[in-house]
Structure 1
């Protein structure tokens, strides 16, 4: 991707990539919970991890202006650290919504995803694009 990609173009691309990652995340979570019989927190963590890999590849190739100042391994490590924090936020929101407020896990996941999506865009823009 060239360095002339505007913030608005990045937000639109991030929304498309995020939408794809959400479909993967949500679909795998429901499959593992409903078909596989896993606890919703375990299936949510697994599905989140699968979607992170998709999201990383698409974010680096199509969304953010990654400078190349770091190696791909370093960029992936930064992405993973940011994603683990996002997973923690996701799991905390899921636990509070489901176990404390008794909101159905499929609904809770949508709210958790929206919050983590904002966190993801801001942190990835800061740490991936600027090479910090």
Structure 2
């Protein structure tokens, strides 16, 4: 049986995730293009820098507007899960950016600048879609609190990870 309240909550969450994602994408692609056009950085390096800058916005906005903090998880674990999933997302981003321009000659950034920029942007859009799907799924699974009124599943990975994080501190911090 479909619970319409759950479906509505998921649709609302996807819309918020989309809005945050579009803003993060504009930050990401804007900075990447500035770095490619200005100092003529390689698209993979420019993409890594822009990804990391947009990641700060994405974390703050996602955890404020999209996902609800799990009461059964320490904030440090929330940040660690976000960081690890983002590092994997960065890896996916970099591979797709590299693949997008790998077939061009080594000096394409200077000799075929317009074509290089076009290919880099197509790769960036592709990477953004793939990484957005990855990010939503992993964050929904591990970071999002259960719907209001729904009990926490004590056997879920998210709950077990969260419960462990509440009784442990990173690096022995107090």
Question: Which TM-score applies when normalising by structure 2?
Answer: 0.69
Instruction: From 41, 50, 58, give the equivalent of 1:55.
Output: 58
Q: Distance in 2 between matches of 1:70 and 1:50?
A: 26
Structure 1: gaps of 5 or more residues: none
Could you tell me which residue of structure 1 aligns to residue 49 of structure 2? 46
Give 1:105 shift: 0.4
Q: Distance in 2 between matches of 1:68 and 1:17?
A: 23
Give 1:71 shift: 2.4
Change (3 A) 1:70 1:94: same
Give 1:32 shift: 1.1
Task: Look up the SS of the partner of 2:143 in the other structure.
Answer: helix
Q: Distance in 1 between matches of 2:84 and 2:57?
A: 16
Deviations 1:72-115 (A, max 9, x none): 22211110100000010111111112114887101111111111
Give 1:26 shift: 0.3
Aligned length: 129
Q: Distance in 2 between matches of 1:42 and 1:94?
A: 9
Question: Which structure has the bigger radius of gyration?
Answer: 2
- 122-131 vs 104-113, greater mean Cα deviation: 122-131
Q: Which 4+ stretches in 1 moved above 4 angstroms? A: none
- Asked if the contact 2:100–2:122 (Cα under 8 Å) also holds between the matched residues in 1, the reply is no
Structure having the higher helix fraction is: 1
Q: Distance in 2 between matches of 1:86 and 1:46?
A: 13
Give 1:27 shift: 0.5
1:86 aligns with 2:101: no
1:29 aligns with 2:32: yes
Could you tell me which residue of structure 2 aligns to residue 126 of structure 1? 141
Task: Look up the SS of the partner of 2:32 in the other structure.
Answer: helix
Structure 2: gaps of 5 or more residues: 1-5, 105-115, 146-157, 162-174
- 103-112 vs 120-129, greater mean Cα deviation: 103-112
Question: Which TM-score applies when normalising by structure 1?
Answer: 0.89
Instruction: From 115, 122, 127, give the equivalent of 1:107.
Output: 122
Could you tell me which residue of structure 2 aligns to residue 68 of structure 1? 71
